[in-house]
Amino acid sequence: MLIEKILNHISNWGKVWFGLIFLGSIFNATFEKISLLSDMPYISVFAFGSGALIGFLAKMRGAWL
Amino acid sequence: MTNISEISSEFSFEKEKAIARTFSKRFQWEMILMGLGQATIWLSLWPLVLNGFLNLWVGFLIASLCACFAYLPSHEAQHGNYSRGNSKLRWLDGLVGHITLITLKFPYHMLRITHMKHHAYTNNPEKDPDYLNAHTNSLLGVIKNVLDGTTLQFEKYLDVFKDDKAFINSFHRAIPLALFYKLAPLVLVVIFPLETLLLWWLPAKLGSVYTTVFFSYYPHLGTSTGRYKDTRFWSHWMPRYLNHSMQLHFIHHLHPSIGHYDEPRAIEALKPFLQARGVPGADEIPDRVSYNPLIKI
């Protein structure tokens, strides 16, 4: 069943997706507002990469905090 | 410790129930206003902030306040306290219950069924979905658990109550909305990153912490199991008007149909019964609760 598959996926990988998309977007928007960082090349890659990394660490730990 | 067999007929359950029933009839318009009102204010923050009419940080403060007001109207709906047994008004329970919880990003049906189990099995380590909230070592521990989602053990209770068809059906009914609340912020954040963080995600977290601390942690802290033992009367430095009068939450556990704003008068009327039954903290209940902020420093 599709919903069951989605729920399983969220249960297993939800933290990584949340890190990549949610935290990544927040970091990216914040970096853009900081003039010192906004001109740096690949800043978006760094922002979304950091988000994904935090999400991945949370998945490994089984908890965010 | 008061033994039930020692309770005089003067304080019988039947008499207690009869008194409680007199406070369980009023139509709770204030709660409906609070639920629908905070959701309307919260929704209006989005166009106001996105169009530059309101500063994002001011929006964040207002959204956080809305989130703190979001749960209680849904809680009354969970107990059917708007319809009060009138099947023609049941839609009102669902309407207020669903709408007010948008701010907190929680599906109404999921909270309703787990809350009913909380009432049925208060302080039971295996069956009370709120057990972890009241039995964590410190306030900081509770806050941490809420922030990282540890307290939401929906999968555990799905297994614990797997033979309860009503529970399972309601749970499954809530799944599409639960998915929506998971996915909607992920879509919104791509388009409006800081607005999604400060108008929805963070206020919902703060509202959840506020709700858990004052609705679950303090009222059940240090209590045991049993009708008159699982919730307590308590007081602390915060005036009761700032924490939804949760010092009086014990009366809700005894008589869930009493309207929230009628609880002070109900407690005044039932005080001798509560003392006779040995409700934790009952000896400290003031004679007049109505205008007493119940502060203790």
Return the pLDDT at B62.
98
**Does the pLDDT of residue B134 top 80, yes or no?**
yes
ipTM tops the 0.90 cut: no
The span from the CA of B253 to the CA of B248, in Å, is: 10
Q: Does pLDDT of B150 surpass 80? A: no
The beta strand positions in A1-65, using DSSP E, are none
Closest CA–CA distance from residue B190 to any residue of chain A (Å): 6
**pLDDT tens readout for residues B200-228:** 999 999 999 999 999 999 999 999 999 99
Instruction: Spell out which residues of chain B touch residue A65, defining contact as CB-CB under 8 Å.
Output: 144, 147-148
pLDDT for the residue B5: 59
| Distance between CA atoms of residues B41 and B32, nearest Å | 14
Highest mean pLDDT among B50-59, B164-173, B238-247: B50-59
The pLDDT score that the predictor gives to residue B297 is: 77
pLDDT 10s digits, B36-70: 999 999 999 999 999 999 999 999 999 999 999 99
The DSSP call for residue B200 is I
> Is the pLDDT reported for residue A59 higher than 70?
yes
b/e sequence B46-66, b meaning 16+ C-beta within 10 Å: bebbeeeebebeebbebbbbb
Which member of B144, B176, B189 has the closest CB to residue A65?
B144
Which of the four pLDDT bands, split at 50, 70 and 90, describes residue A4?
confident
Q: Residues in chain B whose beta carbon is closer than 8 A to a beta carbon of chain A? A: 144, 147-150, 155, 175-176, 179, 182, 185-186, 189-190, 193-194, 196-197, 201
Please report, for chain A, the start and end positions of each structural domain, with discontinuous segments joined by +.
2-61
For residues B247-254, average pLDDT: 95
Asked if the model's pLDDT at residue B108 lies above 90, the reply is yes
In this prediction, residue B142 carries a pLDDT of 93
Please check the confidence at residue B3 and state whether its pLDDT lies above 70: no
Q: Residue B188 pLDDT > 60, yes or no?
A: yes
Partners of A18 on chain B (C-beta within 8 Å) are 186
Whether B6 shows a pLDDT value over 80: the answer reads no
Q: CA-CA-CA-CA torsion for B111, B113, B116, B117, nearest 10 degrees?
A: -110
Taking the C-alpha atoms of residue B97 and residue B73, their distance in angstroms, rounded to an integer, is 7
